[in-house]
Amino acid sequence: MLTRSRRVLLEPLRLQCCRYLSTDQEPTPPRTLITGSLGQLGLTLAKEMRSRYGRERVVCTDIRKPPKIVLQSGPYRYANILNKSGLEEILVEHRIDQVVHFSALLSAIGEQNVTLALQVNIEGFHNIIDLCKIHELKLFCPSTIGAFGPETPKNPTPDLTLQRPKTIYGVSKVYMELLGEYYHHRYGLDFRSARFPGIISATTPGGGTTDYAVQIFYDAIETGHHECFLEPDTRLPMMYISDCIQSVVQMMECPAEELTQRTYNIAAFSFTPAEIVAEVQKYVPLTVEYKVDKTRQRIASTWPQVLEDKNARKDWGWDPQYTLEKMVPYMLQKVKTQLQSEQVIKDLF
């Protein structure tokens, strides 16, 4: 028990701490950890968040050796999401406030290795969400159009509807959505998710069913010929990466009381292979041959054609900026720059 003299001595310190914690002060930018950061989205999101919150406040993680430029751009740590204690060490050491969980095996790759997909997409996510509960962290984990199935209304597909996915990737994302919602209601975890359509960027495709919409730009510039693995009239929702990154930042910054649900559809535009071919042909010569991959076509045929995203627009102001027509010239220039950079590196060695 403190004596009166000790209480008098500690009072100035208490007042100083209260002033430091005053709600009148500017809020401290969050410390963010990104898993799977060397994939299609991670580094672009890290760049955006570092510009907003500070270079040292965004920690990238993955299981691969990063390029030198990644190490120079900000903190990077090796992190295997199946190693729970290793993850916890990074979260505590860097005093993380929020996690963006990108690590996952995508649709086509997951079908080739179901056991690994279960480990990465379900066991790995369980490690992440449990640590976020323990340390009271905000968690964003993207879902996907693959979380729907052939019985789902396709045009439009609402937020709340029948979900019967036919891939292990989709099954694992439905598990993620439901477990995140359960942890929110049971433990008060600030869990947030958005169902991404196919994301189009200059990053080399990584095993998804919508990858043709990226590969077509590489083929248009390098060879002028594209072999498409989907049928020409297969309509799917898509989004340019800049809009995707803004959706994550926007949703993470939205005050919790303004969210009316834990998982939202987000959409930008939908198109078929034939439609994007016609748009690319406005800028560069391109021929196309349809060599349909049965596995990917079967997957794509079960997915939505158009996502209804009125709740995201209403609750947190979702407003994509890119249309198909606006995206195509941007992508052609981005891919051309990417290929030129790769050639410079090859020439050096």
Q: Is the peptide bond between 27 and the residue preceding it cis, with omega within 30 degrees of 0?
A: no
Segment (H or E) for 325: helix 324-348
Segment (H or E) for 78: strand 76-78
Q: Could you tell me where the beta strands, DSSP code E, fall in 142-294?
A: 143-144, 191-196, 198-200, 225-228, 236-240, 263-265, 269-271, 287-290
Segment (H or E) for 125: helix 124-135
CB 282 within 8 A of CB 242: no
Count the alpha carbons within 13 Å of 340 in the hemisphere toward its beta carbon.
6
CA 67 to chain centre: 21
In the set 76, 78, 169, 182, the catalytic residue is: 169
**CB-based contacts of 15: which residues, under 8 Å, 6+ apart?**
none
Whole-angstrom CA distances from 87 to 37, 43, 73, 300 are 14, 19, 21, 34
- Concerning whether 322 is annotated as a catalytic residue, the answer is no
Give the largest Cα separation in the chain, rounded. Answer: 87
**Can you say whether residue 322 is alpha, beta or left, with left for phi > 0 and alpha for psi between -120 and 50 degrees?**
beta
Both tokens of residue 246?
């803004």
**Can you say whether residue 69 is alpha, beta or left, with left for phi > 0 and alpha for psi between -120 and 50 degrees?**
alpha
**CB-based contacts of 13: which residues, under 8 Å, 6+ apart?**
none
What is the set of active-site residues?
Answer: 169
